[in-house]
Amino acid sequence: MTRINLTVDGMKVSDDVEPRMLLVQYLRERLGKTGTVVGCDTSNCGACTVHLDGESVKSCNVLAVQADGHDVTTIEGLATNGQLHPVQEAFRECHGLQCGYCTPGMIMQSIDLLNHNPHPNEQEIREGLEGNLCRCTGYHNIVRAVQYASGHLAAAAGSSGAPQEVTPA
């Protein structure tokens, strides 16, 4: 067993884990963070995407011990004081989900995309999300949701860029 100390969704955690334990297993099985889901276990689908020190990673592709000393944010850590994160709100407004299985990973990856490129065009959104698969093939509304979030985040930040305002479907 190896001792790890990390922060998960703002909460400091110390634990003993098997060195082979995956981060996604740790989040789900030890911390009960079942909002982070497993769709493939082979780093193909992106359903398990979380942020490690603010950058998206597929948590089935990271060992829990690699998160030692780091800051992990899951889908469950996005809302503040009962308020959805703007990207969560955008997915809700634009119906960017069908069964919802891919949604936690899609949202975490979309936030990472917008952090790096606040005003992505459609092609850039599709490329930015190419590591995340939606089995329901609901990609159209997912792209619309990211465009919607981009516009609202830019408006909230008072950006002078050219946000793509999207009216919910």
Going by C-alpha positions, the residue among 44, 15, 40 that lies closest to residue 29 is 15
The reply to whether 108 sits near ligand FES by the rule CB under 6 A is no
How big is the site for ligand FES, counted in residues (CB under 6 A)? Answer: 22
d(C-alpha 89, C-alpha 79), whole Å: 10
The reply to whether 66 sits near ligand FES by the rule CB under 6 A is no
Question: Of residues 25-44, which lie at the interface with ligand FES (CB under 6 A)?
Answer: 38-41, 43-44
Of the chain, the end-to-end C-alpha distance in Å amounts to 50
Select the span of 4-12, 68-76, 114-122, 132-140 touching ligand FES (CB under 6 A). Answer: 132-140
The reply to whether 46 sits near ligand FES by the rule CB under 6 A is yes
In sequence order, the 6+-apart residues with CB closer than 8 A to the CB of 167 are none
d(C-alpha 106, C-alpha 56), whole Å: 10
The reply to whether 45 sits near ligand FES by the rule CB under 6 A is yes
Instruction: Identify residue 25 by its one-letter amino acid code.
Output: Q
Q: What are phi and psi of 78, to 5 degrees?
A: -85, -40
The reply to whether 13 sits near ligand FES by the rule CB under 6 A is no
Among 97, 107, 154, 166, binds ligand FES (CB under 6 A): 97
List interacting residues with ligand FES (CB under 6 A): 38-41, 43-48, 58, 60, 97-102, 134-136, 138
